[in-house]
Chains A and B, each alone.
Chain A
Amino acid sequence: MPTITVIEHNGQDHTIEVQSGISLMENVLSNSVPGIDADCGGACACGTCHCFIAEDWSELAGTADPMEESMLGMRPDRTETSRLSCQIQVSDAMDGMVIRLPEYQM
């Protein structure tokens, strides 16, 4: 199983085994890493599964579509590597990927 490292805002890191073919959001939640709310359940409609993709990995993670872009645009802490984790399908190629979680979700 591929692994992904999730770093909380306070620096606490978690290396989790992930399942390919489902979203990054679902993988983080099912491993009980705190810091993702996912209020809408994965519909790209709430913005509360925001994360930052480590730069080396952002190309593999892909780019936000217009809907995701408009949701990210509402985030005061948005950066160039911001993504909504419900919109990233995990693949085996993401083995070793690093993501950071924001200070808050809103």
Chain B
Amino acid sequence: MNQPQQLPDPLTAPLEQIDFSDPRLLEQDAWRPYFARLREEDPVHYQAESPFGPFWSITRFDDIVAVDSNYEVFSSEPTIIIGDLTDDMRVEQFIAMDPPKHDVQRRAAQPVVAPQNLAQMEPLIRSRVVEILDNLPVGETFNWVDDVSINLTTQMLATLFDFPFEERSKLTYWSDMATGSPEIAGGDTSPEERIPALMDCLETFTRIWHERKGRDDGGFELISLLQRDPNTADLVDRPMEFLGNIILLIVGGNDTTRNSATAGILALNQNPAEYDKLRANHGLIPGMVSEIIRWQTPLAHMRRTAKHDVIFQGKQIKQGDKVVMWYLSGNRDESAIDNADSFIIDRANPRHHISFGFGIHRCMGNRLAEMQLRILWEEIMRRFSHVEVVGEPERVKSNFVRGYTSLPVRVHPL
């Protein structure tokens, strides 16, 4: 299916003429009525043609939980994004593996983001947030995405890997390269730029791995943890698996938190009554953080591949079919979440959202993400009566990353 010049009318176009993989749905923030219609009319929907081939769309909350939990039928191999891996870069990563290999590799990385480890990191994270916020240009319009969201998450990634701090912007660049290609998720990154960038990532981390091996100081950053676990101690000898897992950890810690850090500002500006609630009660921050993550849904989908024929909600899914779980749709499903389109910072059950996924691939870094956003908001509220949005946001062109490239703001100190 060639993508037409203009998006079809979401309410009147025949469903078979709508391409739910069109990256402009997110880029233009036009997706809501399209997915609302699918949830209503055909919640498990087969699209016969798309730039990524035929695929199923799973759009309701409970159906997504069911698919996400069933790795026996719905495999994460060979990849978890709608577009297939390109032949020039066949990375392997545990998010795109099934048990038992997945379990072994994830267990090696998981302790770094376990809450005891996070508690030790909290003062360092807070000091970095404070420094970023204290250096914002009061009285000027600036881009919140660059000056706060990217800056903060890049510093966090450098901390998690103990990556050379002055070179940390490479981490964000590699992350953008990893998910930016048209074949994978509809972005604009060319292979000429992407492949050398990812090879540079591999070479850099291979060098760091060997340097750290000699150091052997019992550190708790990710590379040392991987080296100490017998199952991943020789990961560096399997370059595509090494690169894949490094990219997974970089992307996992980058796009997600970055875009949620921007989303909170946008959501509160669009919902001034909620901003007033927050000003009156900073104790709402933890629940608000979950609500921001739901409202934003920074990763719009995850994909599975059917391992064998299965009837799901009355539909015949065939072996080998792509099955795309639209997390952003599940998070707007009124049958699971009251007033799902509204941003409400004091919901009764704010953690009941689908942004982290469910089942064995559920986001490993969810507590880290929540902690970073909690600290960010605690420190924002200590300084500013209003972070005012003064222009329209610009959004990422992708059907996978739901994010922002710019959000012009001005800050008003207390």
- Residue positions of A touching B, CB distance < 8 A: 37, 39-41, 43-48, 67, 70-71, 73-74, 76-77, 103-104, 106
Establish whether residues B99 and A104, one from each chain, have CB atoms under 8 Å apart when the complex forms: no
Is B115's CB within 8 Å of the partner chain A?
A: yes
Write the chain B residue with the least CB distance to A48: B351
Which of B2-10, B204-212, B304-312, B354-362 lies at the interface?
A: B354-362
Decide if B362 touches A76 in the complex (CB within 8 Å): no
Contact yes or no, B358 A46, CB < 8 A: yes
In the complex the two chains form, is A43's CB within 8 Å of B116's CB?
Answer: no
| Structural contact, B362 and A70, CB atoms closer than 8 A | no
Which secondary structure dominates where chain A touches chain B?
loop
Given A43-B69, A70-B99, A71-B360, 15 more A-B residue pairs with CB atoms under 8 Å apart are A39-B356, A40-B352, A40-B358, A45-B359, A45-B362, A46-B362, A70-B71, A70-B103, A70-B360, A73-B360, A74-B107, A76-B110, A77-B114, A104-B114, A106-B114
Which A residues are CB-close (under 8 A) to B69? 43-45, 67
- Output the residue of A45, A67, A71 with the most chain B CB within 10 A: A45
Size category, B interface: 20 to 34
Which residues of chain A have C-beta atoms less than 8 A from B115's C-beta? 103-104, 106
Contact status A103-B65, CB under 8 Å? no
Given A45-B359, A74-B103, CB of A39 within 8 Å of CB of B351: yes
CB neighbours of B362 from chain A (8 A): 45-47, 74
- Evaluate contact between A40 and B114: CB separation under 8 angstroms: no
A43 touches B114 (CB 8 A): no
Can you identify 17 A-B contacts, CB atoms within 8 angstroms?
A39-B356, A40-B65, A41-B349, A41-B352, A43-B358, A44-B69, A45-B65, A47-B362, A48-B351, A67-B69, A70-B103, A70-B360, A74-B110, A74-B360, A74-B362, A103-B115, A106-B115
